[in-house]
Chain A
Amino acid sequence: MPTLEQAFSKGDFHTALKIGRKLLTQDPDDLQTLLMCGASCIELARSLTEKGANIGAHKEALIYFERFVRLDPNHGQSRVHQSLARCHLVLTSHVKALGHAKLAVQLDSASAMAQRLLGESWQQNGKSANALTAFKAAHQLEPGSADYLEAVQVQLHKMRRFGESLQYIEIHRGKVHSDPKNQSTLHWCLHVTWLSLNKVDRAHEAISKAHELTPDEPRFLSSLAVSHYRMGDFEESEKWCDQTLAHRRTTPHARAVVQRTKGQILMHRNQYAKAKPLLQSALTVLEGDGPTTLALISTLRRLGETEQAKALANQYRKSVEKKSP
């Protein structure tokens, strides 16, 4: 039986958590075990594609870290507050997240992750300008990490400052590490930014490059499918839809997106009977999604299921009216 530390250092977080839980039944106040259990939960959550499971993992992590802080209030570790901030962010406890993120930065102002968590916390609290400052600080601390560049890009997009986003990426892209992972993330940022600037061709080039660098990254597969769809290239789009569906790490959301895309392609080929189950399946995940709903309405009408189409149209109209201010 491996020890907790061994399992954790090997990246076997599932085993580490199992051992840790057992150890805590014997000694619930062991600080090291609490930390490792909390960290294992967070690490495990990274690989979870189901939203519910992800929240569950963070809830469990929160229990361990909060207990740790209760037992050792003067621990002085930035990482513990970073973990707490992360848990509260996932659980959308905005104010608590911000408190822990601030403490994490205070304890280690050179930690890019602490700055990033602070940015995310400001963002959840609706303070865009503060969030941007924090994300930029994080990126400045680790300019080689494309993840931190992406955080700045995402924030600028939330503020609809797409032009500035492109400028920022162009200025800083030379400092991004040359390994495939960082470079593919850089190209992902470019893809999203070009899309927002309505340059579909450039966006397509960028996502193709990102995929070329890290072929196994599932989020690029679904984006490639949608990108080819936007370019009017059905055959390629369908190919990437199928690859996305076959990928073991495809999230339910990405799966639904490509089901919708595939359904839309089939509609344009007048294959409505084949499109229907795909669109229905997509709609179970993308609840209330406009494009999927409209595609399904059109499909139902063409299959002669007019009453169902009308019911869906009415339901959609009501949901849109409800959302309108």
Chain B
Amino acid sequence: MKARLLAVISILLGCEAAPPSEESWILMDRPPFPFELEEGSIPFQHDSGSRGLRHIGESVGSGGALFDVDGDGYLDLYLVQGTADADAPNAGIPKPNQLFRGTAEGFVPHDGFSGYGDTGDGMGCAAGDFDQDGDQDLYITNDGPDRLLINDGKGRFTDETEARGIDQRRFGSVVTTVDIDLDGDLDLFVGHYLEFSKEDFEPCMRDDLEVYCAPKNYPGVPCSLLINDGQGYFSDLSEKAGLNAFPSKALGVLTTDFDQDGDTDLYVANDGEANFLLLNLFKETGEVRFSEGALLAGCALGEGAKEEAGMGVAGVDLDEDGDEEILVTNFEAQSNSCYRNDGAGMFLETSFFNGMASPSLAWVGFGIRDMDVNHDTIPDIFVTNGHVIDNIGEVSQGQLQFAQPDQIYLGSANGFSVIEPHAEAPWKSGRAAISGDIDNDGDLDLVVTCWNDSPRILRSTAMGSAGAPVIGLELAGDGQRCSKDAVGAIITVESMGQTRTREHRIQSSYLASHDPRQLFALKQEAHVANVTIRWPDGTISPTIQVKPGAYHKIELGKGVTRVTPFSNPKP
């Protein structure tokens, strides 16, 4: 019976359809959207910087990060803020990025934190232990100079951008941590959006209405690769790595070993242009160099061979075959993409086959997060939507809306069915979907940033309602063979005949840096899971038996070094 169910799931979620099974209906009976929406609980109002000039950069921000700044066991929340051009009418004083302390009661401002408030025109950020001193630092992308903030372990940050070799002045969008040269530290891949000049700006019109111009009106800009020396000092390897040959309009990046040769490759979602698959030649040549192969691999273009407006990106093994599919959110009239990973660097766009495509056509997708929202062990997908043209309602004569609903693509043996997680709440124009277990109760919550609006919390009720056993994992490298954040490690969890594989990465979605801890729901009757870690250097740790109900810190070469039980379910 179980084998049959697994077979059905494997066929289907790998992006194919299958006949309904009795088991699938049982699974569908569970609470379909276990989130409670919390509006206004974070005292933050996003400022896109829009003051009527309609410069394209205003329309795409901003994101944030969930990470434990001060090591107190609670996730803190960093939110990136936009800024108006200084010479714009009513520009006002630039508002700084904000850092909120996570507590049992929620996110609160905290006087003990300092130095985090960059006032650049912010887009995204990445948290990571860049200097390998045991705490989480921050890299912030701006439309303008990026910033590197070094943490003293207590949330007191120092801007060490220039001192540590960072000189990124272009329109930064996404940033992701990756150990690209397998030397045990965190390198940085910085996506750039496009080249925009205020001086050359010409308004774009649709009929008689001025609208934000499309990205096709501007040239692309190559992404940057910043190599860490192990102490948190960076050198720019972009040109040597061949990145300058690929002008991008990057908004989303996914890191994984797509060609399965032992080093990490990069997938770049471009806005309005073909996406890139940058295959790292490090293993073959001993040097970090990229060859671009998305067209041949089958993941450059969307359904219908369209150059789509790639925004957010996620990686998830939907068909339980040990490699991750690539998911990309796109513009309206472009389906969100599901590139099924067939191994050996080959992909097949399958969104119309698994139910992902049609429900996405009406919306402009931004943040995307793979997660098991109902703890049924089948991956689900959360997408936050929102238009980029603030007057689209008027432009489209009411056919399209600027504020749009969030969606959950609920996975089952029959593919995805879509629900709105908080249909009763007013729509907003969503951007980043940042995930983390903010109340440490063993389920994954979300913070969704909204354009020119306040962020919302979607607090998961899965632990309280689904009742499934869950294991939590925290990975730690040694800073020599593997970065302390263990980015790039492959986690395999086996339980009750089901084997799931997940790559440990911290940044994905859209301009988001997630809780670095990993959660796996198990089948109801499971009492234990076998966990195997393949570290980025290829070392495979002995399989560990892990019991549900707690976070288990697994360190390279040491095994489980700490067990922290989950808090009581909230709510």
Residues in chain A within 8 A of chain B (CB atoms): 162-164, 166-167, 196-201, 229-234, 267-269, 289-291, 293-294, 297-298, 301-302, 309-310, 313, 316-317
Contacts and interface: CB of A to CB of B under 8 A. Distances in A.
Interface string B347-390: 01010111101100110000000000000000000000000000
A290 B346 contact: no
Contacts of B399: 162-163, 166, 197
A120 B432 CA distance: 46
Interface in B39-73: none
Contacts of B362: 197-199
Contacts of B332: 198
Contacts of A234: 17, 353
A231 B358 contact: yes
A323 B495 CA distance: 52
A297 B353 contact: no
Nearest to A199: B362
A276 to B, nearest CB: 15
Chain A at the B interface: SS class? helix
Nearest to B346: A301
Interface of B: 15-17, 295-296, 298, 301, 303-306, 332-333, 342, 346, 348, 350, 352-355, 357-358, 361-362, 396-400, 415
B214 to A, nearest CB: 13
Given A198-B333, A234-B17, A297-B298, A290 B352 contact: no
16 contacts: A167-B397, A197-B399, A198-B333, A199-B361, A199-B362, A200-B358, A232-B353, A232-B358, A267-B348, A290-B301, A290-B305, A291-B305, A297-B295, A297-B296, A301-B296, A316-B295
B355 A309 contact: no
Contacts of A163: 396-400
A298 B305 contact: no
Given A298-B298, A301-B296, A232 B354 contact: yes
B140 to A, nearest CB: 33
B429 to A, nearest CB: 18
Nearest to A204: B358
Contacts of A289: 305
Contacts, number: 75
A230 B348 contact: no
Nearest to B297: A301
A294 B296 contact: no
A267 B342 CA distance: 12
A55 B399 CA distance: 39
Given A200-B361, A294-B305, A232 B346 contact: no
A222 to B, nearest CB: 16
Most A CB contacts (10 A, CB to CB) among B16, B301, B333, B399 go to B399
Contact of A294 (B301, B361, B397, B415): B301
B295 A317 contact: yes
B17 A290 contact: no
Contact of A230 (B301, B342, B357): B357
Contact of B358 (A230, A290, A297, A298): A230
A222 B110 CA distance: 63
Contact of A313 (B295, B303, B397): B295
Contact of B348 (A196, A233, A268, A291): A268
Contacts of A231: 352, 358
Nearest to B348: A298
Nearest to A293: B305
Name which of B352, B361, B400 has the most chain A CB atoms within 10 A of its CB: B352
B518 to A, nearest CB: 31
Contacts of A269: 16
B296 A232 contact: no
A310 B415 contact: no
Given A162-B399, A163-B398, A198 B361 contact: yes
A234 B355 CA distance: 12
A166 B397 CA distance: 11
Contacts of A313: 295-296
B397 A164 contact: yes
Given A163-B399, A164-B397, A199-B362, 4 more contacts: A200-B361, A230-B352, A230-B357, A298-B348
Closest 8 CB pairs of A and B: A290-B305, A163-B399, A198-B361, A200-B358, A198-B362, A291-B305, A163-B397, A298-B298
Contacts of B17: 232-234
A224 to B, nearest CB: 15
Contacts of B301: 290, 294
Contacts of A268: 15-16, 348, 350, 353
Among B304, B348, B397, B398: residue with most chain A CB under 10 A: B348
A260 B154 CA distance: 60
Among A196, A229, A297, A298: residue with most chain B CB under 10 A:
A298
